[in-house]
Structure 1
Amino acid sequence: MNIPNILTLLRVVLIPVIVVVYYLPVGWSYLAASGIFFVAGCTDMLDGYLARRWNQSTPFGAFLDPVADKLMVAVSLTMLVEEYASIWITIPAMIIIGREIVISALREWMAELGKRTSVAVSYIGKIKTAGQMGAIFFLLATPAELDTIIGRIGYGFLYAAALLTIWSMWQYLSAAWNDLMPPEESE
């Protein structure tokens, strides 16, 4: 166990804390949940940086880091869908969560073929993650209202993240297309 892995585990532990704090019947719960989410998001950047900088990358960290990210995003988006009860939040949340499931399955399948590197994390994937984190941060920070400036910013980030999600999914599927749909052999 090293510091990068501890930071990743901290991110997983903070997920239920975000949920509990968000639903507390106090006026500051939204800002507090958003702040905790921000701290958890910072651990995502920090754990990878430290693992590379200190040469402390481990198989456990390589496994848990993307799982922690996906759990944090999926749980937070699910909570926001319930809280906002709006199709305008539900649709991009469905796109984002659905993409995470598809790409996780694609990566697992490509790994079985020994071609995991063809669907490695891309630059667009990193921007997409930053957009998702920004959207969730802003949407958690305010009651379920899109007519506040914070709500509008979160809404904008959410739709930008959904578009980047579709784009990055297209890139990954395109990279794997020949393995997914091999040309038929002539007889």
Structure 2
Amino acid sequence: MTLTVPTWLTLLRILMIPVLVLVFYLPYRWTNFAAAGVFILAAVTDWLDGWVARRYGMHSAFGAFLDPVADKLMVAVALFLIVQGHPTPWMAFWAAVIVGREIAVSALREWMAELGQRATVKVAMIGKVKTTAQMVALSCLLYSVSPNRQTAGIWMGEPVFHIGDWLLAIAALLTLWSGFQYLHAAWPALAEDEQASAARRKAKKMHGTS
């Protein structure tokens, strides 16, 4: 298997996950800058690997599998760190919504792939808006909730933490909305498959009693 440049960038993003955890807990005052910087760099590689793949036609099955895995791992770890640094019920709730939705949609996509209709649950525009809000929110929160430095940095006239907090809530709500859209788009195929399965079970039962 030949690894393409986009796949190497994706692997680099996965390798950044333990780096993010390490710098988040280092006992220095600058670790909030480092943690936010590592996460922003990972987000840049996420954009860059997709751009390189489209621009130069460097697509691969392994890369298509690995890219969303790397994204979900990075986001989940960032959320866990943020909840640990700022353990409030609302922060935990938003994190649970985002992680739970990612698990549910991943399972839905796998099921649709088995039915040969994976394109039915392809990424929509609302998913891209959600991702943008989520990445900005997590960057702001990683900067703000370091266990070694609680900072009240200001961005555009507002505390960075408040910006991240509100954007995370918005991202969580968009997460639920986009998840509902995916389920709504996939429902006809799922219902058809259920009907076909019921018909097969009925036919098998009739055959067994004949």
- Structure 1 equivalent of residue 138 of structure 2: 136
Q: How far off is 1:159 after superposition? A: 0.6
Distance 1:39 1:67, change over 3 A: same
Q: Which runs of 4+ in 1 moved over 6 A?
A: none
Match of 1:56 among 48, 53, 58: 58
Q: Distance in 2 between matches of 1:129 and 1:90?
A: 19
> Given residue 87 of structure 1, which amino acid in structure 2 is its aligned partner?
P
- Structure 2 equivalent of residue 98 of structure 1: 100
- Structure 2 equivalent of residue 162 of structure 1: 172
Tell me which structure has the larger Cα radius of gyration.
Answer: 2
Q: How far off is 1:179 after superposition? A: 2.7
Query: Please, which runs of 5 or more residues in structure 1 have no aligned partner?
Result: none
* Number of aligned residue pairs: 187
Q: Distance in 2 between matches of 1:2 and 1:17?
A: 23
- Structure 2 equivalent of residue 79 of structure 1: 81
3-state SS of 2:181 partner: helix
Instruction: Check if 1:39 corresponds to 2:41.
Output: yes
TM-superposition CA deviations, 1:96-126 (whole Å, max 9, x none): 0000000000000000000100001111111
TM-superposition CA deviations, 1:109-149 (whole Å, max 9, x none): 00000010000111111111111111110000023669660
Q: How far off is 1:181 after superposition? A: 3.5
Q: Distance in 2 between matches of 1:78 and 1:96?
A: 11
> Given residue 50 of structure 2, which amino acid in structure 1 is its aligned partner?
G
Match of 1:26 among 22, 25, 28: 28
Given the two structures, how large is their TM-score scaled by the length of structure 2? 0.84
Query: Please, which runs of 5 or more residues in structure 2 have no aligned partner?
Result: 154-158, 203-210
TM-superposition CA deviations, 1:48-99 (whole Å, max 9, x none): 0000100001111100000000000011101111111101211111100000
3-state SS of 1:168 partner: helix
Give percent identity, aligned residues only: 50
Q: Distance in 2 between matches of 1:79 and 1:165?
A: 20
Instruction: Check if 1:15 corresponds to 2:1.
Output: no
TM-superposition CA deviations, 1:21-70 (whole Å, max 9, x none): 00101000111010010000000000000001000011111000000000
